[in-house]
Amino acid sequence: MEEVLTNPKAGFYINRDVFGAGGDFITSPEVSQMFGEMVGVWTMCLWEQMGQPEKVNLVELGPGRGTLMADLLRGTSKFEKFKKSLHIHMVECSPTLQKLQYSTLRCADEHNTGNNNDEGTISMLTGATVSWHATLEQVPSGTPTIIIGHEFYDALPVHQFQKASLGWCEKMVDVADDSSFRFVLSPQPTPATLLYLRKRCKWASQEEIAKLDHIEVCPKAMELTHSIAKRITSDGGGALIIDYGLNGIVSDSLQAIRKHKFVDILDNPGSADLSAYVDFASIKHSAEEASENVTVHGPITQSQFLGSLGINFRVEALLQNCTDEQAELLKTGYWRLVGDGEAPFWEGPDEETPIGMGTRYLAMAIVNKNHGVPIPFQ
Ligand SMILES: C[S@@+](CC[C@H](N)C(=O)[O-])C[C@H]1O[C@@H](n2cnc3c(N)ncnc32)[C@H](O)[C@@H]1O
């Protein structure tokens, strides 16, 4: 999964823009500017709770086109003290997306993504300094830090386990006689079964496990959460994670999407997005295991998160001053962000109306315990 998504030559994310109508899928920041603006409200509120530090590293994990960060910066640009405190760090593995982010943030000097360069470059949106890194570890430490991860965890590779007559075995990829790929079950428990499955099951009840024939475990999510918790402990600050997932063990969710349609996971690897549901309970346990000095809040639904931060007021304000066409886009975007994934949420006959993201997506915060409970997780 990691290879398929991030291989430097043929990885899905590496060579192209995969977002939007002409790409493979759409994400909340691309649906409406209001998403990034609400994340901006959250970020500023946490910065207040942190005591308004003069310097803050604002880190985004997997920023895609850079839309969320641009909307966050525009939305908060009137707050001078906050604006001046920011140093932006984009954690991105794709050179193509780095360039796109660079132009979305209207960075100053040409073709310099400031890769791992502490000085970085300047975003003409607000005057903040911006640097790019391949991993969170490369972001300089020693400064209070706020980390945003939207649809980043779902791209991290999972192991899949299946209950068999011999006990839990691992699902593996094999090459068939005709050279195509196929799934097979390991003949006996693999090291991953002994290490990762055991670790994950320790955090679950017997009843929860007994109901399942398949279990997915994402060790990279556990490792990343450890790094986040350690960073927040040493430097102060917090993290916001928004993604689709469950507050418990995930069973069998790995999926492939190409051009907005589900396709076979093993078909033409690198040509379709692979993603898996995020196990928020595992993130909570990993953070608490890594440090006693962080607290974990949520998950709550995206709809609760955006609603409590005031998206209703924002959409009304925007609707006061726009064309009919813009109003239509704003309303569709709003309902798509907060609507229920199950029920139809928009009047009208359009069969292609996409389902809502309001309950399928969850929000969780990890913060340094000195800062109290972050808004809106009270
Ligand atoms: C599903 S997209 C989400 C993009 C954006 N956050 C949004 O919501 O529109 C995943 C992003 O994470 C990046 N990414 C995926 N795996 C990564 C990894 N291992 N290291 C760094 N970036 C990664 C991708 O290139 C892409 O920018």
> Residue 142: exposed, middle, or buried by beta-carbon count in 10 A (0-12, 13-18, 19+)?
exposed
- Both 188 and 51 in a single domain? no
- Both 197 and 343 in a single domain? no
Helix (H, G, I), strand (E, B) or coil at 102: helix
Determine the straight-line distance between the first and last CA of the chain, rounded to whole angstroms: 36
- Both 180 and 304 in a single domain? no
DSSP assigned state of 369: G
Helices (H) and strands (E) in the chain, counts: 14, 16
- Both 307 and 165 in a single domain? no
Of the candidates 215, 235, 260, which is a domain's last residue?
Answer: 215
Q: Please answer whether residues 63 and 29 qualify as being in contact, where contact means their C-beta atoms are separated by less than 8 angstroms.
A: no
Of 108 and 234, the structure prediction assigns the larger pLDDT to 234
Q: Please answer whether residues 159 and 216 qualify as being in contact, where contact means their C-beta atoms are separated by less than 8 angstroms.
A: yes
Out of 67-71, 165-169, 251-255, 278-282, least confident range: 165-169
> How many whole angstroms from 92 Cα to the centroid of ligand 1?
7
Q: Is the CB of 299 under 6 A from ligand 1?
A: no
Position 349 in a domain: yes
Question: The domain spanning residue 337 has which CATH number?
Answer: 3.40.50.12710
Q: Is the CB of 64 under 6 A from ligand 1?
A: yes
Q: Is the CB of 247 under 6 A from ligand 1?
A: no
Q: Which atom of ligand 1 is nearest to the CA of 67?
A: 9
Count up the domains in the chain and report the number.
2
Position 11 in a domain: yes
- Both 193 and 57 in a single domain? no
- Both 279 and 207 in a single domain? no
Mean pLDDT, the chain, rounded, equals 92
From CA 57, how far away is CA 239, in angstroms rounded?
Answer: 12
Task: List the structure tokens of 121.
Answer: 């470059």
pLDDT of residue 69: 98
Position 187 in a domain: yes
E-assigned strand segments in the chain: 56-61, 86-91, 121-122, 129-133, 145-150, 159-164, 167-175, 181-185, 214-217, 237-246, 255-258, 261-263, 273-275, 278-279, 294-301, 361-368
pLDDT above 50 (res 105): yes
From CA 360, how far away is CA 368, in angstroms rounded?
Answer: 27
- Both 170 and 34 in a single domain? no
Position 257 in a domain: yes
- Both 141 and 172 in a single domain? no
pLDDT above 70 (res 354): no
Using CA atoms of 116, 121, 125, 128 in order, give the dihedral in degrees to the nearest 10: 70
pLDDT of residue 19: 84
Position 377 in a domain: no
Best probe residue, ligand 1, of 12, 72, 148, 152 (max atoms within 8 Å of C-beta): 152
The predicted model gives 165-177 an average pLDDT of 93
- Both 254 and 193 in a single domain? no
Residues in a beta bridge with 133: 91
- Both 204 and 334 in a single domain? no
Position 36 in a domain: yes
Q: Which atom of ligand 1 is nearest to the CA of 65?
A: 9
Q: What percent of the chain has pLDDT over 90?
A: 85
pLDDT above 80 (res 236): yes
| Ligand 1 atom 16: residue of nearest CA | 155
User: For the segment 3-20, what is each residue's pLDDT rounded down to a tens digit?
Assistant: 999 999 999 999 888 887
Q: Is the CB of 75 under 6 A from ligand 1?
A: no
- Both 167 and 76 in a single domain? no
> How many whole angstroms from 5 Cα to the centroid of ligand 1?
9
pLDDT of residue 117: 56
Calculate Rg over the CA atoms of the chain: 21
Q: Please answer whether residues 280 and 364 qualify as being in contact, where contact means their C-beta atoms are separated by less than 8 angstroms.
A: yes
| Ligand 1 atom 4: residue of nearest CA | 64
> How many whole angstroms from 63 Cα to the centroid of ligand 1?
6
Position 376 in a domain: no
pLDDT above 90 (res 351): no
How many other CB atoms sit within 10 Å of the CB of residue 361? 24
- Domain residues for the domain of 180 are 159-215
- Both 8 and 131 in a single domain? yes
Q: Is the CB of 98 under 6 A from ligand 1?
A: no
From CA 43, how far away is CA 141, in angstroms rounded?
Answer: 19
Position 378 in a domain: no
Q: Which atom of ligand 1 is nearest to the CA of 2?
A: 19
Of the candidates 198, 215, 232, which is a domain's last residue?
Answer: 215
